[in-house]
Structure 1
Amino acid sequence: MRKLSILLLAAVALQAQAKVDEAQAGRLGQDLTPLGGEMAGNAAGTIPRWEGGLATPPASYSPGMHHPDPYAGEKPLYQVNSQNMNQYQAKLPAGLKVLLEKNPDYHLRVFPTHRSAAAPQRIYDATRYNALNAQLISGGNGVEGVASGIPFPLPQNGQEAIWNHIMRYRGDQISFVTNQAAVLSNGAYNLLKLERDVYFLYGREGVTPKDLDNTLFYYKYKVVAPSKLAGSALVVQETLDQVLAIRKAWRFNRGERRVRRLPMLAYDTLQPDTNGMATADVVDSYNGAPNRYEWKLLGKQEMLVPYNSYAVHQQGIPYETILKRNTVNPDLLRYELHRVWIVEADLRKGFSHPYAKRRFYIDEDSWQILAVDLYNKDGELSGLQESHPISYYDVPMFGSTLETIYDFKGERYFVDGLDNNEPMYNFNVGLTPRDFTPQALRRSGN
């Protein structure tokens, strides 16, 4: 990796369980943001100083709306396409270069950079505490000493950085309806509509490490369309240390009219109805135990990445306008220049996975993964993941509104998060852990 903005961190990689000292932790809120990003902008002035992000809704927002775009009046600074991409190649993820090369009509609309990521003050306070108290356990496959906030705001290795993504704040609970689609090489696709609920235990106000009992969150979905699949449902109890105790998952099959415990829903298990493009661990860009990969923190770099993707989030856009042959409609996407942490994961010997190597680009301000280069067992760049995020300023929380996986060889892609013609996310739905049991799953399937 060339032109990294900080030195490689291999020298401290062995200090996997080391906590930072008071002097380092004291930088949070000073020269570092409360979550560990650089407070200052860059020397060129193309990345501004972080000023708190979008922590309150704009005047035009009312609860239940698809979030109005606070930057709707802006015009692109420039476009990147297959003709001029060499001019910007140092700032492009490798997978994005391939996407541009393979699709001459695809382009990146690059807009002014806005550091809009924000979180509640209690998350900032918890992160300051974590800097002094969080530590990896179980060979890096678990974290102890924390119950809320970013565990490692000053990461010393790749495992700490990926845990920051896994444990970042995403609200307390969410109920939402989205569609997903596997878009084939000829442009054909079928929409799968899902009702989804998430109850986060980690990050809730007042929760202690003991209260977690090795649980991060609870998740449930129910298929509502197409009619031939409607009624099938899944519930997941997500563990923190999945080597100690694998995630528990149950599926209700409408045809069988019964609930079955799934023996495994992790790693390279293929997700149903994704045309073989999505493994279990690509949900949310990466999830689950990190134990099958060797993790390296390469440093930080300025990159062109999806950001403030309000245009593709707006209400009423027909899904056929978003889902074009070979790629998502580039005229609905927004890219900005941001500093990102770069983390590489190499598959350990003895394990198999379609992705033998991954390179993650993680936002310094939110710890949201924004892009992932995907390599196969032969070392070939086989795909690209992207997360197109917005600031859900009503929470406040920064997270993806649309996620994509491009399969270069198959000239196809998978997209999840289509919500333009559905009710907006409800972050105050009133869920409890009792809504995520096998018994609740059986009831929801009837």
Structure 2
Amino acid sequence: MKPMHRAALAAAVALTVNAGAWATATPDEAAHLGKDLTPVGAIRQGNADGSIPGWTGEKNFPEETKHYTRAQLEDLRKNKPDELEAKFKGTMAPDYLKPVATITAANMAQYADKLTEGHKALLKKYPTYKMNVYKSVRTAFYPDAVYRATIDNATRASLEGTDTIKNARLGFPFPIPKSGAEVVWNHKLKYKGSAAKRFNNQAIVKPDGSYIITKIIEDVKFKYANLDEPGDTNTQKLLAYYLSTVVSPPRVAGQITLVHETLDQSTGGRLAWIYSPGLGRVNRAPDVGYDNPAVGTDNEQYNDQIDVFNGALDRYTWKLVGRKEMYIPYNSYQINSPKVKYADILRPHHINQDLARYELHRVWVVDATLKPGMRHNFARRTFYIDEDSWAIAAEDCYDGRGQLWKVQEAHLLTVPFIPTTTGIPELIYDLQSTRYFATTLANEDAITDFEIRFPDSYFDPANLKRKARSR
């Protein structure tokens, strides 16, 4: 590395790791965005030994993949799955498709400084667990409008307490974060497309490997990170609308859950309603946040574990530990191949790790500690957030005794036709019950409809019963 590059990298690290006294970035700090920092605040350069490359983003994908329609994707998925898989591996050379190392319990000590505590625990607990490590490719990228808004947000957005954001619009509010809560808010406000109809399959996998797939259709309209109707935290009270319908198994089929996701949930919580076919009526759902179990997960996923973390931050003290080089699931195209079936993925104790891809990336590490007098089943949580996408890639969850209890993974991949980086699948390993929960599985179902658009009236609670009868 050239001396001037080494100095620039040191300056970038210093200005983004050292916590400052200001709620917003200074103009001098913000001037680095789009230069030695990417437009969303990642260090553009690779690391000193080249094991983490420079950021290349959209350059990794053939141009046509950025403009695919859903019809084109469905046709490729059905008739040319090999071509579809190849396209979404982007321009990675063959040597990027072969593991450069395999981490096991036997050799984990030499990689320990780059492993999450959760991954160490899984390696120690299950002899069949391993981590195949590949050359890193920094594929994450977002629309230009999100970049412009993020750069503007850097010097104007602020966070009051843990849950009230001021003066942010459309993009990431804190590309140069000064606190752990700001990092988590970047994840919460990440651009994921303006709206979507997603076909979500999930399963609780027992220790013997048996499972039942639960099929859910999810309709979402984002109210903040929306290119059609850009949101503003000063005027917009909602983060998103969410409507889920359970398709199977029969015992829960037909249940509909409607959520109005509020920006500041610490002052009143999210608004939610449930339609139950058995009762034939719509009821308010009072407990859909924090550690209340998510519907149909048998206590293996709490509401605030959806999308790895969501909801109010007010019960925890958030510490920004800083950036660190870590092995995280990334460019997870193989495990999402249409040629791979759920039976290929879901195995006893953990997923088929031959299908998982791990890469070395810089992540933001954030510790959340339960405040005195507050209640949550997790007394402490450690988050690992990808610097290029602000997506949470992993989380370690500790019980009240301080013991590691649940380990979360989001197998990140960049979707160039939206564009965004998201976790598919997401996993929650329960080290106590030895079960695990898999969600956002999509291999055997229709491709997410990212072209769909919903009027706000579609998510009116008065329409829930009508929606139920029309299905």
1:63 paired to 2:85: no
% identity of equivalent residues? 38
Residue matched to 1:179: 201
* More divergent stretch after superposition (306-315 vs 431-440): 431-440
Once the two structures are superposed, what CA deviation does each residue of 1:132-163 show, in whole Å capped at 9, x if it has no partner?
A: 110012x2211110121110000001111111
Aligned with 1:192 (options 214, 219, 223):
214
Q: CA deviation at 1:228?
A: 2.4
Q: CA deviation at 1:245?
A: 3.2
Give me the whole-angstrom Cα distance separating, in 2, the residues matched to 1:143 and 1:242.
12
Residue matched to 2:184: 162
Question: In the superposition, relative to structure 1, how do residues 400 and 331 fare at CA in structure 2: closer, same or farther (>3 Å)?
Answer: same
* Aligned residue type for 1:132: T
Aligned with 2:27 (options 3, 11, 22):
22
SS at match of 1:378: coil
1:313 paired to 2:318: no
1:36 paired to 2:41: yes
1:375 paired to 2:398: yes
Please, which runs of 5 or more residues in structure 2 have no aligned partner? 1-11, 78-83
SS at match of 1:99: helix
Give me the whole-angstrom Cα distance separating, in 2, the residues matched to 1:117 and 1:161.
17
Once the two structures are superposed, what CA deviation does each residue of 1:328-347 show, in whole Å capped at 9, x if it has no partner?
A: 11011100000000000001
Aligned with 2:52 (options 47, 51, 59):
47
Give me the whole-angstrom Cα distance separating, in 2, the residues matched to 1:195 and 1:210.
28
SS at match of 1:209: coil
1:402 paired to 2:428: no
Maintained 8 Å contact 2:170/2:224: yes
Maintained 8 Å contact 1:6/1:299: no
* Aligned residue type for 1:48: P
Residue matched to 1:294: 317
Give me the whole-angstrom Cα distance separating, in 2, the residues matched to 1:54 and 1:345.
35
1:413 paired to 2:441: no
Give me the whole-angstrom Cα distance separating, in 1, the residues matched to 2:55 and 2:17.
28
Once the two structures are superposed, what CA deviation does each residue of 1:280-303 show, in whole Å capped at 9, x if it has no partner?
A: 100011101100000000011100
More helix by share: 2
Aligned with 2:464 (options 432, 441, 444):
441
Q: CA deviation at 1:10?
A: 9.7
Aligned with 1:233 (options 253, 256, 260):
256
Maintained 8 Å contact 1:147/1:208: yes
Provide TM-score, normalisation by structure 1: 0.94
Q: CA deviation at 1:59?
A: 4.7
Maintained 8 Å contact 2:367/2:381: yes
Once the two structures are superposed, what CA deviation does each residue of 1:87-129 show, in whole Å capped at 9, x if it has no partner?
A: 1011000010110111111111111100000000000000000
Q: CA deviation at 1:72?
A: 8.6
Residue matched to 1:143: 165
Residue matched to 1:202: 224
Maintained 8 Å contact 2:266/2:312: yes
* More divergent stretch after superposition (109-118 vs 65-74): 65-74
Please give the root-mean-square deviation of Cα atoms over the aligned residues, in Å: 2.0
Residue matched to 1:113: 136
Question: In the superposition, relative to structure 1, how do residues 147 and 59 fare at CA in structure 2: closer, same or farther (>3 Å)?
Answer: closer
Residue matched to 2:8: none
Give me the whole-angstrom Cα distance separating, in 2, the residues matched to 1:127 and 1:203.
11
Please, which runs of 5 or more residues in structure 1 have no aligned partner? none
User: Size of the alignment, in residue pairs?
Assistant: 439
Q: Which has the higher contact order (CA 8 A, sep 6+)?
A: 1
* Aligned residue type for 2:193: G
Give me the whole-angstrom Cα distance separating, in 2, the residues matched to 1:47 and 1:101.
27
